[in-house]
Amino acid sequence: MIRSSDIPEKMTEMQLLEMLKKEASSVHIKDIMSASVYLREDARYLPPREQKEFIERFTRAFFNRIRDIKNDENIYPGHVDTARLKEFIDFLDQQLSQAKTENERCFQKIARIITIYVTFVRKEPVHPVGTRFPGGFTVRREGNVFYCPVKDRQINTPGALCRFCVSIQDPDIS
C-alpha cells in the first residue's frame, strides 16, 4: 500500500501511475466483491431503488477503474504536487485506520488506489461525471472544468474527500 513515506520530494505523474499500477495489480475480484458487501451495508438506509443503483454503480466503477489503471498507457507529462499527495494519503490512512470490518478495509484499499489515480494522475473529480446526488443533481463537465453540485456543502464534512477534489461548486446550484 502506498504510504506518504513512499513519496519522494519530486515525482512525475508517470512515476505515480507506475506505483498505482502495481497497487491495482494486487486487487482481485474477491476484493471488489468484499467492497460491494460493504457498500450494501453502508447503503442500507437508502430507498430500495436508490440503494440498488448506488451499489451497482460503485461496484461497476471500482471494477472499471481498477482495469483502467492497470491498462493505462497514456503519457502524463506533469509533476505531482507531492505535499498535497502526502496530505491526501495521510487523510486516507486515517480513514483506513477507522475501518471496522474486513469488507470496509477492502473498500478503503480500492477507493484509495482509485482516488489517488483520478485526483493526481487524471486530474478528474473523485466522483465521475454523471454521478447523481440527492435532488437529481449530477457531477458535470464543461471543457476542462468539472462542476460538483455538493462541493460547498460537503467541503468540511470530516470523512469527505471534497477538499482534495479537482471539481468546483456548480454555480447553477446553490
What are the tens digits of pLDDT across the range 19-47? 999 999 999 999 999 999 999 998 898 88
3-state secondary structure of 108: helix
Q: Residues 75-85: what's their mean pLDDT? A: 98
What is the band of 156 on the pLDDT scale with cuts at 50, 70, 90? very high
* Amino acid at site 123: K
Q: What is the pLDDT of residue 133?
A: 84
Q: What is the pLDDT of residue 96?
A: 96
| Sequence-separated (6 or more) residues with CB below 8 Å from residue 173 | 137, 149
Q: What is the pLDDT of residue 94?
A: 96
C-alpha cell at 46: 437508502
End-to-end CA gap in the chain: 38
**What does pLDDT average to over the chain?**
94
Q: What is the pLDDT of residue 49?
A: 81
What does the domain layout of the chain look like in residue ranges?
A: 4-123, 127-174
More confident position, 54 or 73: 73
Alpha-carbon span 69 to 101, nearest angstrom: 26
pTM: 0.93
pLDDT in tens, 87-136: 999 999 999 999 999 999 999 999 999 999 999 999 999 999 998 887 88
- CA triple 27-32-35, angle to 5 deg: 120
* Burial (Cβ within 10 Å: 0-12, 13-18, ≥19) of residue 20: buried
